[in-house]
Amino acid sequence: MDHRSALITGASSGIGAAFARVLPAVTNLVLTGRDTGALDALARELDRPGRTIATVTADLGTDAGRDAVIAAGEAAGIDLLINNAGLGFFGPIPRVRPEDERAMVEVNVVTPVVLTRALLPGMLGRAKAANRRAGVIVVSSISAFLPVSRLATYAASKAFDLHYAEALAADLEGEPCDVVALCPGFTRTKFGERSGMKPWMFHGAASPERVARAGLEALGRRRTVVIGSGAVMAPLGARLLPRRWMSSGVVAAMKRLKQRSGM
Contact present, 135 and 127 (Cβ < 8 Å): no
> What CATH number is given for 5-231 in this structure?
3.40.50.720
Which of the pair, 244 or 60, is modelled with greater confidence? Answer: 60
Catalytic residue ranges: 154
Is pLDDT at 257 greater than 90 in this prediction? no
pLDDT tens sequence across 88-137: 998 899 999 999 999 999 999 999 999 999 999 999 999 999 999 999 99
pTM, two decimal places:
0.84
Evaluate if residue 246 carries a pLDDT over 50.
no
Residue 74, pLDDT above cutoff 90: yes
Please report, for the chain, how many H helices and E strands are present, in that order: 10, 7
pLDDT tier for residue 15 given thresholds of 50, 70 and 90: very high
DSSP state of 187: B
N- to C-terminal Cα separation, the chain: 42
Domain positions in the chain are 5-231
Q: What is the pLDDT of residues 148-204, one digit of tens each?
A: 888 999 999 999 999 999 999 999 999 999 999 999 987 556 655 554 554 545 545
Q: If DSSP codes are grouped into helix, strand and coil, which group holds residue 69?
A: helix
3-state SS, residue 114: helix
